[in-house]
Amino acid sequence: MQVLGVYLVEGLTIGIPIALAAPFLAAAPVALLGLSPVFSNVSGSGLLPAGVPPVAFVWAAFAVLVSITTILLPAAIVARRGALAHRRVLIHEEGVVDPQAGATVRLSRPDLLMTLFAGVPAADRIGSGDIIVDGDPALYEALVDLFEPVDPNFNIVTP
C-alpha cells in the first residue's frame, strides 16, 4: 500500500502543475499558426486568436486523473496479489500453504537476489541459517540452478 501512496503523491505532484499549464501550452502553438502561410488569409499574417476557456482546465484535470489511474491500477493489482517475481514464477501469499509443496522457503529479499542472480551458493546460505527450508533443501537449490549468475562485465553497447 505504501507504493500506491508514493505513486499517488508523485502523480499529483507532477499532474497538478501540468493540468494548470497544459491549456496555455496548447493555446500558444494554435496562436502561432497564424504566422504560417496556410493561415495568413485568416489571420492577416498575425497571431490567431486563441483563448483558454475554463473547460480546458477540466479536460486537463481529467487527463491527469486518467494518467494517475494507469499508474495506480497495475500497482494495486500487483500489491493485492503479493507477487515477488514477474509472471507468477514465484508467489508469496501470507498464510497460504500448498500441502503438496516439496519445500517451503523463508528468506530475505537480499538472500533471494544473492542466490538467484549473484551466484552465491544456496547451500552456504541454508547452512548458515539465513535461508530456512522446511522440506527438501535440494528443491530450492534446483530452482537456483535454473538461473545463470549475472556477468558484471556485460557490455551493454558493443561496436
pLDDT band at 16 (very low <50, low <70, confident <90, very high): very high
125 domain residue, yes or no = yes
100 domain residue, yes or no = yes
pLDDT band at 132 (very low <50, low <70, confident <90, very high): very high
Q: Are residues 48 and 111 in the same domain?
A: no
How far is residue 68's CA from residue 71's CA, in Å, rounded to a whole number?
A: 5
Q: Are residues 42 and 112 in the same domain?
A: no
Q: Are residues 111 and 47 in the same domain?
A: no
Domain-ending residue, one of 49, 81, 113: 81
- Please state the domain count of the chain: 2
Q: What's the pLDDT score for residue 76?
A: 81
Mean pLDDT of 16-32: 93
Which letter, b or e, does each residue of 140-154 get, where b requires 16 or more Cβ atoms within 10 Å of its Cβ?
Answer: bbebbeeeeeeeeee
pTM over 0.85: no
pLDDT band at 158 (very low <50, low <70, confident <90, very high): confident
155 domain residue, yes or no = no
Q: Are residues 15 and 67 in the same domain?
A: yes
pLDDT tens digits, 101-116: 888 888 888 999 889 8
Q: What's the pLDDT score for residue 89?
A: 46
How far is residue 13's CA from residue 1's CA, in Å, rounded to a whole number?
A: 18
Residues 6+ apart with CB under 8 A from 43: 33, 34, 35
159 domain residue, yes or no = no
Domain-ending residue, one of 54, 81, 108: 81
63 domain residue, yes or no = yes
Q: Identify the CA nearest to 18 among candidates 67, 69, 72.
A: 67
Q: Identify the CA nearest to 84 among candidates 122, 113, 120.
A: 113
Domain-ending residue, one of 26, 58, 81: 81
Q: Are residues 103 and 63 in the same domain?
A: no
Q: Are residues 65 and 106 in the same domain?
A: no
pLDDT tens digits, 54-98: 999 999 999 999 999 998 888 887 766 654 444 444 556 677 777
Q: Are residues 6 and 77 in the same domain?
A: yes
29 domain residue, yes or no = yes
Mean pLDDT of 3-10: 86
- State residue 103 phi and psi, 5-degree precision: -160, 150
The domain of 116 spans 96-145
